[in-house]
C-alpha cells in the first residue's frame, strides 16, 4: 500500500542525519496522499541505520493504522493535525536541531534578519506557546498540533508563506509541498537560526531586515512574477 509514498518518506527521513538535523532517533518525516486520505510516517524510535522503506507506517487521518508492523512516530498526532488544518501541505518534518531548539527554549521567534530567511519565510518563524498541564495530560501530541494551528490563525500567518514554527521548550516543525520540501525548509530553518545566533552574539542590538527586503526576496522566489532559478526561463 502506497509503496511509492513510503519510499519517498523513507528517503526524506534519511536526509535528516545527512544534514545534521537529528541525533540518535530525534526526528521524523511524514507524507500524505490527499486523494486517498492516508498518511505515511516513520516508525517510533527506530535507528536511521536500521530503517527501511517497508518500515514506514500507513495511517488514516483518524489515526487508525492500516499498514505497518511497527508503532508510528510518537509525534503522529501532531502531524495529523497539521495536515487537517493546512490543506496545501504534503509533507511534515519534526527535528530537535540545536539552533532552532535554542530559540524554542528561549521562547523567542526566529527573527527574519537577512535575505537567506527572506528567500524562504515571509517574516519571523513563530515560537508557539507552552501547553498547559491540562493540555499535556489530555493529549500532548494532538494539542501540540492544535497549538501550532492556533498560533497561525491567531496571528493571521499563511502556512505556505511561513512553512515552519518552533514549539516553546520543545523544537521545530516544518512542512512543504512534499516530504523533501519539508526537509529542505527544516534545513533552512536551522541554518538561519544559526545565523541569527551568530548575529546576536556580534551585535545584540541587531534588527530584523527591512520589510522591503522581505518582500523582494520572498516574491522573487515565490511571487507571481518570480524569476529565481530556471523554471521561468523562456
Which residues are identified as catalytic? 119, 228
Q: Answer for the pair 103, 110: CB distance below 8 angstroms, yes or no.
A: yes
DSSP string covering 54-103, please? GG-EEEETTS-EEE-SSPBPTTHHHHHHHHHH-TT--EEEEE--HHHHHH
Strand order, beta sheet including 127-128 = 65-67, 57-60, 38-41, 27-33, 91-95, 171-176, 164-167, 127-128
Q: Answer for the pair 80, 37: CB distance below 8 angstroms, yes or no.
A: no
DSSP state of 35: T
User: Furthest-apart CA pair in the chain: how many Å?
Assistant: 57
Amino acid at each position: 500500500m502506497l509503496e511509492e509514498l513510503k519510499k519517498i518518506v523513507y528517503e526524506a527521513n534519511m536526509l535528516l542525519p545527512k544534514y545534521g538535523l537529528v541525533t540518535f532517533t530525534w526526528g521524523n518525516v511524514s507524507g500524505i496522499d490527499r486523494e486517498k486520505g492516508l498518511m505515511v510516517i516513520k516508525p517510533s524510535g527506530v535507528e536511521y541505520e536500521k530503517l527501511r522503506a517497508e518500515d514506514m507506517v500507513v495511517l488514516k487521518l483518524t489515526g487508525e493504522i492500516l499498514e505497518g508492523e511497527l508503532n508510528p512516530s510518537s509525534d503522529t498526532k501532531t502531524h495529523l493535525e497539521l495536515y487537517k488544518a493546512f490543506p496545501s501541505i504534503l509533507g511534515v518534518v519534526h527535528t530537535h536541531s540545536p539552533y532552532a531548539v535554542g530559540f524554542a527554549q528561549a521562547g523567542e521567534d526566529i527573527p527574519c534578519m537577512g535575505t537567506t530567511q527572506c528567500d524562504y519565510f515571509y517574516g519571523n518563524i513563530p515560537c508557539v506557546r507552552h501547553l498547559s498541564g491540562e493540555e499535556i495530560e489530555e493529549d500532548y501530541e494532538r494539542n501540540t498540533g492544535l497549538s501550532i494551528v492556533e498560533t497561525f490563525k491567531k496571528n493571521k500567518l499563511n502556512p505556505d508563506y511561513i512553512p515552519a514554527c518552533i514549539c516553546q521548550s520543545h523544537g521545530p516543525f516544518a512542512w512543504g509541498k512534499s516530504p523533501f520540501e519539508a526537509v529542505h525548509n527544516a534545513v533552512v530553518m536551522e541554518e538561519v537560526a544559526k545565523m541569527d545566533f551568530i548575529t546576536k552574539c556580534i551585535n545584540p542590538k541587531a534588527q530584523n531586515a527591512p520589510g522591503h527586503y522581505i518582500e523582494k526576496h520572498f516574491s522573487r522566489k515565490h511571487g507571481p512574477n518570480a524569476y529565481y532559478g530556471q523554471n521561468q526561463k523562456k
